Amino acid sequence: MSETKNVVWVMAEQFDGKLKGVSFELLAWGRKLADKLESPLVSVLIGNSVSDTDLEQLIKHGADAVYAVQDHKLANFICENYADVLVNLIGEYKPAILLAAATSSGRTLMPYIAVKIHTGLTADCTELDIEEETGNLLQTRPAIGGNIMATIKTPDHRPQIATVRPKSARPLPPDESRKGEIKHITYQPLCSGKEIEHVGYRRIDNKGINLEEAEIIVAGGRGLKKAENFKMIHELANVLNAAAGASRDAVDRGWASYPCQIGLSGKTVSPKVYIAIGISGAIQHLAGIKTSETIISVNIDPDANLNKLADLSITGDAFQIIPELQRRISRRIKERSGGK
């Protein structure tokens, strides 16, 4: 495989010996690109204690091969150590494309790698494709504060590196018949390992539901008119055991905090149900919710952009619709629980 041109690599992520979901999302992007190039797709795993059974899941979700470099020194993400591994692998196998997730580790490691091997990097992409005439990677990301979408190429250097927003693609369904190679590669550290020491891991105490992992999201926008009305979003979210979100416009007005912002300049989400209340649907917002399974729009404007994307659109006054919807849901929940 090392002699094959245009090989596509995607980085798998692990924590505490278990693969993270974003590993499979990246395989969906990588498979699309590799098929267009008629080339192999390799998943690269750097970490420790990930079983072959779990590594095989990467093949079943689209990889043709897995390159696994595992060592106790790689159990925790340390940029320099991970870079040692990746620079060596790139030098030996020479992939044409390298994709990583725009997570905290991906956003740290990929710029470091790009400088080390003198190539380009496009960060935080929301779309990827192959230019038919040249085979170059087309890397699309928001620019100028999210007001335009820029498509970027790296024609003169390899590999072409991009980080991709989590939740921007759904994992491919597993194919139990897929076969591929799992190659275990020995870790050969280049740096002394004494420059940076892993002290510990502290989980952020967040009592709310993570927007990026939520199955149901209720989000509000400018149509709610003022900050006080945003309590309606939180009340409905509580009834549905959902996460509360907001459009950029609502955040800019101070009605909601930035961690609640959904869209290209905020979080990309992919819930089972996305309920948008008073959100007109700017292109940046639509791009951030496009992989949601079911989109419900409540808006007084029948021509709102979000209504065109929604699976169900309700045209009317949210201040009348949402309280009634909340009452009916609460009554249904009470009935199902036996009136308790």
Domains of the chain, first to last: 8-185 (3.40.50.620), 211-336 (3.40.50.1220)
C-alpha to C-alpha distance for 280 and 43, rounded to whole angstroms: 39
Q: Which residues of the chain have pLDDT under 70?
A: 1-4, 144-147, 190-195, 201-209, 338-340
What pLDDT, on the 0 to 100 scale, is given for residue 167?
A: 80
What pLDDT, on the 0 to 100 scale, is given for residue 103?
A: 86
What pLDDT, on the 0 to 100 scale, is given for residue 205?
A: 43
pTM, entire model: 0.70
What pLDDT, on the 0 to 100 scale, is given for residue 204?
A: 46
pLDDT in tens, 282-315: 888 988 898 888 999 999 999 999 988 899 999 9
Give every strand in the sheet of 160-164, ordered side by side. 121-125, 160-164, 97-101, 8-12, 41-47, 65-70, 181-185
What pLDDT, on the 0 to 100 scale, is given for residue 206?
A: 41
What pLDDT, on the 0 to 100 scale, is given for residue 5?
A: 72
Q: Which residues pair with 296 in a beta bridge?
A: 275, 312
Phi–psi pair at 135, nearest 5 degrees: 80, 5
What pLDDT, on the 0 to 100 scale, is given for residue 221?
A: 94
What pLDDT, on the 0 to 100 scale, is given for residue 331?
A: 86
* Closest by Cα among 40, 64, 68 to 54: 68
pLDDT in tens, 128-149: 999 999 999 999 887 765 567 8
